[in-house]
Amino acid sequence: MKRLITFCIISFGMLTASMAAEKHPADYVNPFVGTTNFGTTNPGAVCPNGMMSVVPFNVMGSEDNKYDKDARWWSTPYEYHNCFFTGYSHVNLSGVGCPELGSLLLMPTTGELSVDYKEYGSRYKDEQASPGYYSNFLTRYNVKTEVTATPRTGVARFTFPAGQSHVLLNLGEGLTNESGAFLRQTGKCEFEGMKLLGTFCYNPQAVFPIYFVMRVNKQPAASGYWKKQRPMTGVEAEWDPDNGRYKLYTRYQKELAGDDIGAYLTFDTEEGEQVEVQMGVSFVSMENARLNLDTEQQGKNFGQVLEEARRRWNDDLSRILVEGGTEEQKTVFYTALYHTLIHPNILQDVNGEYPAMESDKILTTQGDRYTVFSLWDTYRNVHQLLTLVYPERQLQMVRSMLDMYREHGWLPKWELYGRETLTMEGDPSIPVIVDTWLKGLRDFDIELAYEAMRKGATLPGAENLLRPDNDDYVSLGYVPLREQYDNSVSHALEYYIADNALSRIAAALGKKEDARLFHERSLGYKHYYCKEYGTFRPILPNGEFYAPFDPRQGENFEPNPGFHEGCAWNYTFYVPHDVKGLARLMGGKKPFVDKLQRVFDEGLYDPANEPDIAYAHLFSYFKGEEWRTQKELHRLLQKYFKNAPDGIPGNDDTGTMSAWAIFNMMGFYPDCPGEPAYTLSTPVFDKVTIKLDPKYWGRDQLVIETERPSAESLYIREMELGGKKLSRYRITHEELVQSGKLRFSLR
């Protein structure tokens, strides 16, 4: 009996150790992936699709920084190689290519008070980051900093040394081009205020306020405001040399407004004493910012908030479970899934209030109202991933898009916190809405959606916010080059894809004439094909091709007539809705395949440029050439996606690059936006289990299994779908989810 008890104790100990060693999906996430090589991600604290993110800010203020010193040139608050920390910014964008937000900078310091960010910044070490958490150690001040977040609020924990310590709130600096702000002290431990944000991608119309409430858990010994005094000709009194051009005000000053203002709190701290600073935000009012803070952090300390954030992430990431593969591949996969769940973000406060689209009205939603719709990027794959794995969120996003139409009269193009930035090309809401409905998520007003989509597709250009060159497009079937760098070819190719999707939904709704009209329009890409070069080529207003023409001009994002951020090779195969038709235009299967292979062999493929990210899948449209898809995807995944700061090939574009990796690592990809279908390829993992919502898909999981004779096995020998042999490499969404199991055997 004694021996049995001993055995049980030993066994239990082994089991406990095993359970402790077991890694959860959140454990595989490395938030530092994509923080250099222009990936523009950041390692800050955020909850899935949360309004709030708390991010280390290191892109300005020191000659020691490796890259540009002026933050307004940066589209991210953090760059991995930079070393000069000037605070934590609240509410940020991830993976974008234009500067915006990155404001409400919170900075701990010690010693003599300084409020000039060029002076008070610090080097740092011991960075750590995981979902919902970031920490570093400021070597100048011997202060450990930590941050975490709830959906609408953030909290920082600063561990100070003994002596005089400070917390600074800088409202003058950030990534936004706006600098106006308002600040008011409402108690010994609390400030409230507002900061102007806007002009994303230098659009002067896209300006909006963010409201905040900041609260500390320790009463300060002193507090007050500062305002930068700008030198003025003939007015010597404006200059304040004693405070480095910053005028300090005591806390008895009731409030302050203007550019370059801030607040300070000074504490007498003991060695190792921790001060927690809470920040609540709202895009509606200061009252709502306080309500968000009270609701989401009332009675909670830093550790409790962190635990909730981590649980949120692990729950969301656990909707896809992978087995097999290497530790590196699991890290790449779950980090990519993490990145796709940062945007879009909730916009409504805890009481449901949100700012209406392009309006000063405040409305109330019953569900989630989403914002940050980077649709030119995400219409390609992010929303398809959300539809499959997070359908309840995707439905709310479509409803949000339709509410924007109700409020503003237009579907979004690149919407940001209730403002339309009009960034990039095309009419990208259409493929998102069509794809969602055709896959079976139909709990939204499809007739209103069709009205909105048709409006953008048919209204004359002078009245058309989404298609300003619609007159030429409708009358000619293409958009001619009227200015040197008007991106005319890029515009038209996007319209063709949108019109193909519109044709599909029109047919599904029984609108036969519209279906025929938009289908015919979608084939206008043929106008641009130039046999002389074998690529698409801009067309002049007189109908002739543009000359002189170099199909490689535009590489490395140099300006290029007719094309946006790419060369002709990055766009020539960008006809996902008529691949076979494009092949016929090029002379048939062999010339098409040979030319497409040339793109990869000669380094003409640019993964950082979205129009060509589905190129590798096009081989699988032709029987006997599927192996090329499998080979190229394997190579591209290994080359461009790594567990490293440069592990994303350029801007992540609010999760678009990451979604590409997720799908292809699982073994299928939605290569034609607006068509409910996938192209199959070799999975990276031995088993993938996708947890499905039975409410939408009628079953609770989809399993993808791969029989791999060796680690080097790459090519597909045979496939089974739902237990039946499968000989084709494209399947519908319905076939995939209803099968329950997709099985690959490799050779």
* 8 Å CB contact between 566 and 581: no
* Model confidence pLDDT, tens digit, residues 545-565: 999 999 999 998 889 999 999
- Clarify whether residues 202 and 349 are in a common domain: no
Same domain, 326 and 276: no
- The verdict on 155 and 114 lying in the same domain is yes
In a domain, 531, yes or no: yes
Asked if pLDDT for residue 664 goes beyond 60, the answer is yes
What pLDDT was estimated at residue 206? 86
| 449-475: average pLDDT | 98
Please report the pLDDT score of residue 251 as a whole number: 52
pLDDT confidence band for 4 (50 / 70 / 90):
very low
Q: Does 278 score more than 80 pLDDT? A: yes
The answer to whether residues 251 and 339 belong to one domain is: no
- The DSSP bridge partners found for residue 214 are 191, 279
DSSP string, 362-404: EEE-SS--EE-EEHHHHTTTHHHHHHHH-HHHHHHHHHHHHHH
Is 474 a residue whose pLDDT tops 90?
yes
Last residue of some domain: 313, 347, 376?
313
* pLDDT > 70: percent of the chain: 93
Name the pLDDT band for 239 (thresholds 50, 70, 90).
Answer: very low
Q: Which of 282, 313, 344 is the last residue of a domain?
A: 313
For residues 122-130, average pLDDT: 98
CATH number where 677 lies: 3.30.2080.10
pLDDT at 19 over 60: no
Angle at 645 between CA 640 and CA 647, to 5 degrees: 15
Using one digit for the tens of pLDDT, what is the confidence trace for 8-17? 333 434 433 3
Does the pLDDT at position 67 exceed 60? no
User: CA 379, CA 415: separation in Å to the nearest integer?
Assistant: 13
In a domain, 424, yes or no: yes
Q: Which of 158-162, 251-255, 419-423, 530-534 has the lowest mean pLDDT?
A: 251-255
Residue (of 454, 375, 449) closest to 406 by Cα position: 449
User: Rounded mean pLDDT of 571-597?
Assistant: 98
Please give the pLDDT value at position 204.
81
Give the mean pLDDT of 285-291: 98
User: Given pLDDT bands bounded at 50, 70 and 90, which one contains residue 232?
Assistant: very low
Query: Are 397 and 428 found together in one domain?
Result: yes
> Whole-angstrom Cα distance, residue 156 to residue 136?
12
**Does residue 38 form part of some domain?**
yes
pLDDT at 218 over 90: yes
Whether 423 has a pLDDT exceeding 70, the answer reads yes
Taking residue 427's Cβ as centre, other Cβ atoms within 10 Å add up to 26
What one-character-per-residue DSSP string does 65-82 give? -SS-S-GGG-SSS--TT-
Counting other chains too, the contacts that 515-518 makes at CB distance below 8 Å and 24 or more residues apart are 518/457
Statement to judge: residues 406 and 435 lie in one domain: yes
Q: Are residues 113 and 130 in the same domain?
A: yes
Residue type at 449 in one-letter notation: A
- Among 174-178, 358-362, 662-666, whose mean pLDDT is lowest? 174-178
Over residues 681-727, the pLDDT tens digits come to 999 999 999 999 999 999 999 999 999 999 999 999 999 999 999 99
How many domains, in total, are found in the chain?
A: 2
Structure tokens at 93: 């964008």
The yes-or-no verdict on residue 533 having pLDDT over 90 is yes
- For 316-353, what is each residue's pLDDT tens digit? 999 999 999 999 999 999 999 999 999 999 999 999 99
Alpha helices in 542-690 (DSSP H): 579-585, 589-601, 626-640, 656-666
The 10 Å Cβ neighbour count of residue 588 is 11
Same domain, 265 and 378: no
Is 436 part of any domain?
Answer: yes
CA–CA distance from 681 to each of 649, 663, 705 (Å)? 21, 10, 12
Q: What is the signed CA dihedral for 469, 470, 472, 476, rounded to 10 degrees?
A: 140
Tokens standing for residue 692: 């499905």
Q: Would you state the pLDDT for residue 553?
A: 96
Domain check: are 335 and 369 in the same one?
yes
Cross-strand pairs, 46: 53
What is the domain range of residue 516? 318-744
Strands 353-355 and 88-90: unpaired
Inter-residue contact 720 to 681 (CB < 8 Å):
no
- Name the nearest CA neighbour of 268 among 122, 110, 142: 110
Asked if the structure places residue 10 within a domain, the reply is no
Whether the pLDDT of residue 470 is over 60: the answer is yes
Helix (H/G/I), strand (E/B), else coil: 117: helix
Same domain, 391 and 489: yes
Output the six-digit token pair for 717: 């020998």
CATH number (domain holding residue 292): 2.70.98.10
Residue 448 lies in a domain: yes
Percent of the chain's residues with pLDDT above 90:
88
Residue with tokens 């030429």: 472
309 plus 328 within the same structural domain? no
pLDDT at 71 over 90: no
- Name the β-bridge partners of 268: 164
Sheet of strand 730-732, all strands in order from the earlier edge strand to the far edge: 668-669, 677-680, 730-732
pLDDT above 70 (res 387): yes
* Residues 111 and 141 sit within 8 Å (Cβ to Cβ): yes
- Asked if residue 15 is part of any domain, the answer here is no
Residues paired with 530 in a beta bridge: 535
- Asked if 203 and 422 touch (Cβ cutoff 8 Å), the reply is yes
Residue 177 confidence (pLDDT): 87
- 328 and 309 belong to one structural domain: no
For residue 709, give both structure tokens: 């004779």
Range name among 105-109, 184-188, 435-439, 604-608 with the lowest pLDDT average: 604-608
Confidence of residue 245 (pLDDT cuts 50, 70, 90): low
Q: What are phi and psi of 238, to 5 degrees?
A: -75, -15
Q: What are phi and psi of 345, to 5 degrees?
A: -120, 155
Give the model's pLDDT for residue 14: 40
The confidence band for 252, taking pLDDT boundaries of 50, 70 and 90, is low
Q: What is the DSSP string of 151-209?
A: SSEEEEEEEE-SEEEEEEEE-S-SSSS--EEEEEEEETTEEEEEEEEE-GGG-TT-EEE
Q: Give domain status of residue 2, yes or no.
A: no
Domain limit, last residue, from 247, 280, 313 = 313
